[in-house]
Chain A
Amino acid sequence: MSSDLTPRSDGSPEATGAHGVVSGSGVNDRLARPDYAGPGALPLAAVDHTPRRSDLYPKAARRVERQITLMFLLSMLMAVLFIVGYVAIDVGTEIYIPVLGGVGFQNLVLGVTFGLGVFLIGAGAIQWAKKLMPDVEVVQDRHPLPSTPTEDAKAAEQYQRGKEESGFAAYRIMRRTLIGALALFPIPLVVLVRDMWTNDDPALAGQSPAEILSSTAWTGGLRIVTDGTFQPLRPADIPVGGLVSALPENIEEIQKEAHNLNERGKSAIILVRMDPEDIRAQQGEGWDYQGILAYSKICTHVGCPIALYEHRTHHLLCPCHQSTFDLADAGNVIFGPAARSMPQLPIGVDEEGFLVAASDFNQPVGPSFWERG
């Protein structure tokens, strides 16, 4: 489309015509266009025209016609078969198809008939367009990307006029205060974002998010219970090579009160037992109990729960990004993106002989956050 405002400087046509070849692109002028010969009349391309068989032989054209008709007929058949399949096939029927395996028969029939029904309409339409509709090669020019110098000048002039008429350059103080107002305006929204976390738990009232993230439900003397069945554990229950996913004994009450799983997420641990001689290092002196070690279950990378414990290598692997922690060596990272070792929970037993936490973790569990440092 040529612009009404700025007549093109050049673009003189060299040849036009219904079946002629247009080569309107002036070599020197990159803004030149082929002559515009009115709506719908696209310039023809300078390529050799090979006529299609259906153009040359009426017989071939009729064959194509029959093909396309057949496609549309088949599409109708598919629509009918779809309804038949829907009504006649029991939903539960399963059939075996090689490669696919056991498949719901109705699912298969509905999918295949509907898919083919739509596909055949499209394929027929494309065949029609390709084989029977008029066959001429045309060139559709792209608009030249840069504006013309006249357009550029006009834009610049309008900008200048706007600047002068608005007085944006003249009223200096007003301009600066406007910029200041615009800069401050989004800050209240940022302040709201800071407090998006909710804290319904009265026990945590007054604590900052960083403080809440830094402590868990574990306290000294709190019994360790199995996750899922909530049974307290005695040291003898865990054999060497054993693995237990565990939680603090009061986790269910905490959850009920807080109406969320936050504490469960933070205090989940795994207990593993190894030959005490295999333990090369721990995060604190005597934090194990006769070879039973308690580590956080939350990956220090971005917080996936992990319990892929290999009891012969003592490696704990995170399936999310393959961080590997060596639980025989103070939970240190031996592979992967995690930057911190897995926090260890010091444990002991109470008077009744059940495993208990000796204290809370001495560092925040889970992924790093700003204030954690």
Chain B
Amino acid sequence: MKALAAHRRHPIMGLVLLLLALGVVGGVYGVATTAPSSADTALVGDQTQIEEGRRLYLEGCSSCHGLNAEGGSAGPTLIGVGAAAVHFQVATGRMPLAAPGAQAPVKDAIYTSEETLQMAAYIASLAPGPAIPTAEQIDYTDADIAEGGVLFRINCAQCHQAAGQGGALTQGKYAPSLMSATPQEIYEAMLTGPQNMPIFADTTLPTPDKQAIIAYVVDLQQAPSPGGLSLGRLGPVVEGLFLWTAVFAALIGAAVWIGMRAR
């Protein structure tokens, strides 16, 4: 402390404090992620599509999920997960995994949307499961955003945070931010429960409710931030941290300048 006090009045201290403040702000801000590509909606596949999908599956997926999608120690069975699950996982780049780990992160999709649909058709042909939602199902234009907000806070906010920014789960897993999720991905995620997300089936959360939730999330995605620097919309804890670090550092810097001996 003595040494620190001795250097307090050094002209370079102001600069150091400023850099410190900037570093903290930058770190807080750097939590944003990038958008995955979206894919078109398509329906049931024909035989050639299924065969092509099987070929792609054997190449890219079978080492973890088994030659017949029966699952193994490295990956769960895909029998009965349905086309929607395949489309969600592959189109958002979550599958195939780059490396085993707690979380399957979003990355650039490896397969084209056509290949994705072929694989989805193959998995769907093994056993019935949730189909890829139709354009009507994900059409949220008439949905009630306020109602969607209520349902979002009851069913989704506990993990994805009230403003859809995502949040931590146990042991390195996390609920991702929804800021770049497309309506189709949101629908598919609710329908299939990817990774550790529970399933919100159409029986307990019918299509109009899902549309309302999508409308709310889209509204969140488009909501402006008039003050700029939304700090990830993480709420008062982050805002307080910002105040106590960056703003206080600036104030201390000003105090140091005021106290500096004029020359």
Interface residues, chain A, CB within 8 Å of chain B?
50, 52-54, 94, 97, 99-104, 107-108, 126, 130-131, 135, 226-229, 231, 233-234, 236-245, 272, 305-313, 315, 317, 319, 324, 335
Q: In the complex, are the beta carbons of B198 and A311 less than 8 A apart?
A: yes
Tell me how far the C-beta of B50 lies from the nearest C-beta in chain A, rounded to whole angstroms.
24
The answer to whether B225 and A228 touch across the interface, beta carbons within 8 angstroms, is: no
Residue of A nearest to B198 (CB): A243
Q: Which residues does chain B contribute within 8 Å of A241, judged by CB atoms? A: 193, 198-199
Give 4 nearest A-B pairs by CB, closest first. A243-B198, A104-B226, A103-B228, A100-B228
Give complex CA distance A335, B158 in Å.
18
- The chain B residue with its CB closest to the CB of A64 is B262
Q: Is the CB of B226 within 8 A of A101?
A: no
The digit string for B196-210, where 1 denotes a CB below 8 A from any CB of A, is 111111011100010
Q: A239 to B29: give the CA distance in the assembly, Å.
A: 39
B150 contacts chain A at the CB level, 8 A cutoff: yes
Nearest residue (CB) in A for B153 is: A228
Counting chain B CB atoms within 10 Å of each CB, the highest count among A97, A226, A239, A241 belongs to A239
Of all chain A residues, which has the CB nearest B167?
A319
Chain B contacts of A324 at CB under 8 A?
A: 170
Tell me the minimal C-beta distance from A157 to chain B in angstroms.
44
Contact between B158 and A94, CB atoms less than 8 A apart: no
The answer to whether B154 touches A108, judged by C-beta atoms less than 8 angstroms apart, is: no
For the complex, give the distance between the alpha carbons of A126 and B255 in Å. 11
Q: In the complex the two chains form, is A50's CB within 8 Å of B263's CB?
A: yes
Is the contact region of chain B dominated by helix, strand, or loop, or is it mixed? loop
Closest to B173 in A: A310
- A-chain residues with CB within 8 Å of residue B173 when the two chains form the complex: 310
Summed over the interface, the residue pairs from A and B with CB atoms below 8 Å come to a total of 111
- Residues of B close to A319: CB separation below 8 A: 158, 167
Whether B204 contacts A238 by the Cβ 8 Å rule is yes
Q: Which residue of A lies closest to B151 (CB)?
A: A228
Q: Pull 16 A–B residue pairs with CB atoms less than 8 Å apart, ordered by A.
A: A100-B228, A100-B229, A101-B225, A101-B228, A103-B227, A107-B227, A231-B204, A240-B199, A241-B198, A241-B199, A243-B199, A272-B198, A305-B158, A307-B155, A310-B173, A311-B196
The CA-CA distance from A311 to B170 in the complex, in Å, is 12
B188 to chain A, nearest CB (A): 14
A311 & B263 in contact (Cβ 8 Å cutoff): no
Are B196's CB and A244's CB within 8 A?
no
- Does B169 interact with chain A (Cβ within 8 Å)? yes
| B48 at the A interface (CB under 8 A) | no
Are B201 and A237 touching (Cβ within 8 A)? yes
Q: Which residues of B contact A313 (CB under 8 A)?
A: 170, 196
Q: How large is the interface on B (under 10, 10 to 19, 20 to 34, 35 or more residues)?
A: 35 or more
Q: What is the chain A residue whose CB lies nearest that of B152?
A: A228
Most central of A50, A100, A238, A244 by chain B CB within 10 Å: A244
Cβ of B27 under 8 Å from chain A: no
Is there an interface contact between B154 and A245, defined as CB atoms closer than 8 Å? yes
Given contacts A94-B224, A228-B209, A307-B158, 7 further A-B contacts (CB under 8 A): A99-B229, A241-B193, A306-B158, A308-B159, A308-B169, A308-B175, A311-B198
Using Cβ atoms and an 8 Å threshold, which residues of chain B touch A244?
Answer: 204
B204 to chain A: which residues have CB within 8 Å? 226, 231, 233, 237-238, 242, 244
How far is it, in angstroms, between the C-alpha of A236 and the C-alpha of B202 when the chains are bound? 11
Question: Chain B 173-211 against A: per-residue CB contact (8 Å), 1 yes, 0 no?
Answer: 101000000000000000001011111110111000100
Query: Please, how many angstroms separate the alpha-carbon atoms of A244 and B202 in the complex?
Result: 12
> Which residue of B is nearest A54, CB measured?
B262
**In the complex the two chains form, is A312's CB within 8 Å of B196's CB?**
yes
Q: Are B158 and A308 in contact (CB under 8 A)?
A: yes
Partner of A103, one of B159, B198, B226: B226
For residue B222, give the distance in angstroms from its CB to the closest CB of chain A.
10
Q: Are A228 and B228 in contact (CB under 8 A)?
A: no
Is B33 at the interface (CB under 8 A from chain A)? no
A104 to B225, CA, bound (A): 7
Which A residues are CB-close (under 8 A) to B1? Answer: none
Instruction: Please tell me if B63 contacts chain A, counting CB pairs below 8 Å.
Output: no
Q: Does B134 contact A (CB under 8 A)?
A: no
A335 to B261, CA, bound (A): 55
> For residue A54, which residues in chain B have a CB less than 8 angstroms away from its CB?
262
> Are A243 and B200 closer than 8 Å at their CB atoms?
yes
* Residue B258 is within 8 A (CB to CB) of chain A in the complex: yes
State whether the Cβ of B230 lies closer than 8 Å to any Cβ in chain A.
Answer: yes
Q: Which residue of B lies closest to A324 (CB)?
A: B170
Q: Cβ of A239: which chain B residues have Cβ within 8 Å of it?
A: 199, 201, 203
In this complex, what residue of A is CB-closest to B160?
Answer: A308
Contact residues, B207-253 vs A (CB, 8 A): 209, 224-230
Docked Cα-Cα span, A238 to B204, in Å, equals: 7
Whether A242 contacts B228 in the complex (CB less than 8 A), given A228-B151, A310-B169, comes out as no
- Cβ–Cβ < 8 Å partners of B224 in chain A: 94, 102, 104
Tell me, in angstroms, the Cα distance from A312 to B77 when the chains sit together: 13
